[in-house]
């Protein structure tokens, strides 16, 4: 993978970072990283914001622009939107609801097969993140004092979800069904302008 691609991946999964942090992550000099970032900025893939530091000069943080989405899977956005419109035209809103329910049920069966082999909530979440990543969601799991965050750093069905929010409601319901014995809530939402979707998972029963 090219260095510029690695920079884009890091900014996608970790959010805004300084050149110094990127250099450390990539085992490069800060000057070397800045050369790659200048090229990415000229291409319109990244931008920066100077944030006030406790002392001294402001610290410059780099982040991705909407244009950078072209580097990630989009699941053929235009076709997805056309299909949604066609389903509504031919079968009505209820037909679209049935389609979304069928998709949810199919995913539930697939995920449940994989998760039944795991005994702990942590293991189930990591298995779920692996499945979601294989579908293009770039999912990771963070543990926070007994709670967990399931983070999805990319949405390969973003266009469809923007067109029909039931896709997003369906995914939250899916996670809640899969992780019985835990409370699942969405904390961040790409559709609402966040850089990722984040689901907080809190155990309410013994695992």
Q: How far, in Å, are 4, 12, 35, 118 from residue 1 at the CA level?
A: 8, 15, 17, 32
State whether CATH 3.30.1380 applies to domain 77-203: yes
For domain 3-71, the CATH architecture is: Orthogonal Bundle (1.10)
Confirm if 4 and 36 have CB atoms less than 8 A apart.
Answer: yes
Q: Looking at residue 53, what is its pLDDT?
A: 82
Q: Over the stretch 39-80, which tens digit does the pLDDT of each residue have?
A: 999 999 999 999 988 888 899 999 999 889 878 765 556 666
What is the distance of C-alpha 50 from the center of its chain? 25
What is the C-alpha end-to-end distance of the chain, expressed in Å? 40
Q: Mean of the pLDDT values across residues 18-28? A: 95
Q: Looking at residue 115, what is its pLDDT?
A: 94
Rounded CA-CA distance 205/207 in Å is: 6
Q: What angle do CA 151, 125, 152 make, to 5 degrees?
A: 15
Compare 168 and 206 and report the one with higher pLDDT.
168
182-188 and 147-152: which strand pairing?
Answer: unpaired
pLDDT bucket at 205, cuts 50 / 70 / 90:
low
Burial class of residue 176 (count of CB atoms within 10 Å of its CB; 0-12, 13-18, 19+): middle
Compare 11 and 158 and report the one with higher pLDDT.
11
Q: Mean of the pLDDT values across residues 100-117? A: 88
Maximum pairwise Cα distance, the chain: 63
Name the residue ranges covered by the structural domains of the chain: 3-71, 77-203
CB neighbour list of residue 194: distance below 8 Å, 6 or more residues apart:
188
Q: Over the stretch 128-149, which tens digit does the pLDDT of each residue have?
A: 999 999 988 899 999 988 899 9
**Is pLDDT above 80 for 91?**
no
Q: Looking at residue 49, what is its pLDDT?
A: 94
Compare 82 and 32 and report the one with higher pLDDT.
32
């Amino acid at each position: 993978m090219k260095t510029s691609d690695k920079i884009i991946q890091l900014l996608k999964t970790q959010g805004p970072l300084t050149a110094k942090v990127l250099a450390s992550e990539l085992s490069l000099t800060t000057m070397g990283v800045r050369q790659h970032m200048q090229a990415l900025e000229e291409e319109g893939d990244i931008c920066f914001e100077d944030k006030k530091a406790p002392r001294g000069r402001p610290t410059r943080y780099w982040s991705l622009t909407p244009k950078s989405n072209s580097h990630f899977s989009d699941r053929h956005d235009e076709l997805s939107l056309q299909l949604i419109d066609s389903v509504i035209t031919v079968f009505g809103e209820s037909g679209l609801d049935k389609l979304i329910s069928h998709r949810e049920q199919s995913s539930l069966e697939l995920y449940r097969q994989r998760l039944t082999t795991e005994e702990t909530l942590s293991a189930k979440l990591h298995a779920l993140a692996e499945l979601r990543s294989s579908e293009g969601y770039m999912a990771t799991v963070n543990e926070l004092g007994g709670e967990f965050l399931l983070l999805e750093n990319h949405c390969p069905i973003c266009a469809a979800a923007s067109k029909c929010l039931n896709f997003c409601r369906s995914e939250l319901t899916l996670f809640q069904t899969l992780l019985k014995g835990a409370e699942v809530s969405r904390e961040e939402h790409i559709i609402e302008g966040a850089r990722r979707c984040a689901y907080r998972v809190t155990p309410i029963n013994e695992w």
